Homo-oligomer: A and B are copies of this chain.
Amino acid sequence: MSKFPLAADAALIEEALGRCLHEPGARQAELYRAMRYSLLDGGKRLRPALLLEFCRLSGGTAEQALPFACAIEMVHTYSLIHDDLPCMDDAATRRGRASNHKVFGEAMALLAGDGLLTEAFRVMLSPEAVQAAGTARAAEAALLLAEACGPAGMVAGQAVDIRAEGRPLPLSELEQMDAWKTGALIQAAAAMGCAVGGASPELRETAKEYAAALGLAFQIEDDLLDAIGTEEAVGKPLHSDAEQEKCTYVTLLGQDKAREEVLRLTERAVRALEPYGDAARPLMELARYLAGRNT
């Protein structure tokens, strides 16, 4: 597997994430430990890196983008903690380590998730974020995140998912569910970057097109990895979809068609960015990298 093409962004984000959760006092120590355990667990930082890149492409700076990048990673992390809870997927591990509730207990994991979701909004509306990005852009970016991760977006996808297990879904329903569960946050990352950087309407359209294709390719690739990857490379127990009788792109399309679809979507994402030339190269490389994760 080649190197993550946005590694420099990811390093900036890692450093900002380490700074943004400052424990206010000893009595909150365990709660903050639980939040940091999952937030600082070596994720790829895909969503915040996307946000940074689109902010730059819009004429903004990484400094302006970082609070919003931290916020979207906090939201992603909260969703994983809650997803792993016994009443949801009941997952014992995540990214090769014990899941949050296995370490801190169910109640504290629930609260760590709630805390991260709330902190995301605090960070985006903090005096530093508002001063760097401007109040109107900060408020717009926060609204985009709320829309994407709420009950008309990510949470809707999870609600459909818990009712779908064990029953076959038609392709159109699977696509809708994944658009909510995974796509919404990836699209929000691109749109938030555009909002913070003050993108033109044309760039906003391009970002939407790129992120829609990338998000779907990412999900199909995830299903392929679950079906045919090695546990070592993927960093989590595999074949969980089959065990839970989940309907996936691989079960619906077969491996060959699923792979074709990933390549087609990746090409679409790359083509959308062509008008932006060299400045868009990192985002093009990202799309190609994500499509090649299991090679």
How many angstroms from the CA of A295 to the CA of B106 in the assembled complex? Answer: 39
| B85 pairs with A110, CB closer than 8 A | yes
Q: Which residues of B contact A156 (CB under 8 A)?
A: 24, 27-28, 31
Segment with Cβ contacts to B, from A119-127, A216-224, A257-265 = A119-127
Segment with Cβ contacts to B, from A49-57, A142-150, A228-236, A280-288 = A142-150
Segment with Cβ contacts to B, from A159-167, A199-207, A238-246 = A159-167
| B159 pairs with A146, CB closer than 8 A | no
Q: Which residues of B contact A162 (CB under 8 A)?
A: 107-108, 111
- Contacting residue for A150 out of B106, B118, B130, CB 8 A: B118
Interface bits A1-28 vs B (CB < 8 Å: 1, else 0): 0000000000000000000000010011
* Known contacts A24-B152, A122-B146, A125-B146, A110 near B87 by CB under 8 Å: yes
Q: Which residues of B contact A143 (CB under 8 A)?
A: 121-122, 125-126
Q: Which A88-140 residues have a C-beta within 8 angstroms of B?
A: 88, 105-108, 110-111, 113-115, 117-119, 121-122, 125-126, 130, 135-136, 138-140
Task: Tell me the smallest distance from the CB of A247 to a CB of chain B, in Å.
Answer: 15
Q: Which residues of B contact A136 (CB under 8 A)?
A: 135
| B125 pairs with A130, CB closer than 8 A | no
How many angstroms from the CA of A108 to the CA of B82 in the assembled complex? Answer: 12
Task: Tell me the smallest distance from the CB of A12 to a CB of chain B, in Å.
Answer: 24
A158 at the interface (CB under 8 A from B): yes
A interface residue numbers (CB < 8 A to B): 24, 27-28, 30-32, 35, 78, 82, 85, 87-88, 105-108, 110-111, 113-115, 117-119, 121-122, 125-126, 130, 135-136, 138-140, 142-143, 146-147, 149-152, 155-156, 158-160, 162-163, 173, 176
Apart from A111-B151, A118-B146, list 18 A-B contacts with CB within 8 A.
Answer: A28-B152, A28-B156, A78-B114, A85-B87, A88-B110, A108-B162, A111-B159, A114-B114, A117-B118, A118-B151, A119-B151, A121-B143, A122-B146, A125-B142, A125-B146, A130-B139, A135-B136, A139-B139
Can you list 11 A-B contacts (CB < 8 A)?
A: A31-B155, A32-B151, A35-B151, A87-B105, A88-B110, A110-B110, A111-B162, A121-B121, A122-B147, A122-B150, A135-B135
